[in-house]
Chain A
Amino acid sequence: MYHYIYEAFLTDPKFAKQLSAIENRLTDLGIYGSVHRLALFKTMKGTIQDAVRRGAKTVVVVGDDGSVARAIDAIAEFPGVVFGIIPIGDKNSFAKLLGIVDAASACDILSARLVEELDLGKVNKHYFLTSLNISGAVKAECDGRYTVSPENGGEICISNFSMDPAGPGDPRDGRLETMVKTGSKGFFKSVFARARSSSGLSVFPTHNVVVRSPDNAQMTAVADGQSYQDAEFRVEVAPHRLTVIVGKDRAIA
């Protein structure tokens, strides 16, 4: 049975028509199931845990990138549960990455049920699909064998599934790409449009990375748009942790 988790913002009347169309299409396809609506005290994590406890084998999130990121963090605790996405809202880059262009086609993609097993990244206790950016970091210890440090400060980005087609990060290779950029901030946003060899971008294929703050100060890490604060971030790859329904036009970014 399919369990659909509706993001809280979908209570806005402007989504009523679109939701109705989705529900009709799901019914036509014979894959309509149990609906859970998120609210102020009904969190994504608690709802997914509850659904899996009730025997859910397929959990579908109806929402945007923020919904997908929180759902992945929760569903990664239950390997074998299949994850699906129906994108609604303004930001749906994760769905597009998986070949799910819009809500209408998402229903047919769910019905076709083309499943991929993808690696996830794990930072401390949280899972992420795409990448992790750590600001204020000065040194990264990679695979317990060597350390990497930008000599005059820089940024550290750890990629599992690159949003950029030319960027490093394949979610099926069992590795994370640790990237270190010396120089200007905001670099990672446009870096892959340029040649990497002369750009000042270092790339290290790794399995686990530890980033510590030099003076035990709090650092901020942003993974899949979710922010975390800590003095130490332990990042590792979780191979084949996410079983996800994908579209034909999925792209490794």
Chain B
Amino acid sequence: MFKKEEGAAGNETIIANGVKVEGDFSSPGNVRIDGTVIGSVKAEGDLIVTETAVIQADVSAANAVVAGEIKGDIAAVEKLELLGTAKIHGNIACRTLTVEAGAVISGNCQVAQERAAARERTRETKVEAAA
């Protein structure tokens, strides 16, 4: 087998500061954005948006940590973490949301804990059955 050192790129996409991406960008792995993106962003892995990043796009990822600016909707399948420097001008949808003091959100926020909702539904069904 070929040998590959630890830490080699694999599926990871990096958009560095000073680089502009325009169009429908998608990645099967993790994505780190330090630069500018215009269009749409879809990461099947985790997404990191750093402080220098400027995104004018709808964004989706498995998990996301945002420290930069996003003008567009953001959807995280699992966890979304907004750091103090984050500015979101769009709607948010995720399962778990963490917001640090200083983060700016301008839009609707939908946090749906499917397990909790399912548990609630189960409880309601049991109560109805007992009644």
Contact = CB atoms under 8 A, between A and B. Distances in A.
Interface of A: 116, 145-152, 154, 162, 165-172, 177, 180-183, 196-197, 199-205, 250-252
Given A146-B24, A146-B25, A197 B14 contact: yes
B16 A202 contact: yes
Contacts of B5: 165-166
A107 to B, nearest CB: 22
Contacts of B17: 182, 200
Interface string B1-34: 0111101111111111111111111111100101
Residue of B11, B18, B22, B39 ringed by the most chain A CB atoms within 10 A: B18
Nearest to B13: A204
A168 B35 contact: no
Contacts, number: 98
A245 to B, nearest CB: 14
B60 interface: no
B116 to A, nearest CB: 35
Given A151-B20, A177-B9, A197-B32, A202 B4 contact: no
Given A196-B14, A201-B16, A145 B24 contact: yes
B19 A149 contact: yes
Given A167-B9, A172-B2, A199 B16 contact: yes
Given A145-B25, A145-B26, A166-B5, A150 B12 contact: no
* Secondary structure type dominating chain A contacts: loop
A251 B2 contact: yes
B14 A205 contact: no
A58 B20 CA distance: 46
B23 A150 contact: no
A165 B8 contact: yes
A146 B13 CA distance: 14
Contacts of B2: 116, 170-172, 250-252
Contacts of B29: 205
B20 A148 contact: yes
Given A146-B22, A165-B8, A168-B8, A252 B3 contact: yes
B21 A146 contact: yes
Given A146-B23, A150-B19, A169-B9, 20 more contacts: A145-B23, A146-B25, A147-B22, A148-B15, A148-B19, A151-B35, A166-B5, A166-B7, A166-B8, A167-B9, A168-B9, A182-B19, A183-B18, A196-B9, A200-B18, A203-B13, A205-B11, A205-B28, A250-B3, A251-B2
Contacts of A146: 21-25, 39
Contact of A150 (B14, B18, B28, B39): B18
Contact of A151 (B8, B24, B36): B36
A205 B27 contact: yes
Contacts of B39: 146
A170 B20 contact: no
Contacts of A181: 16
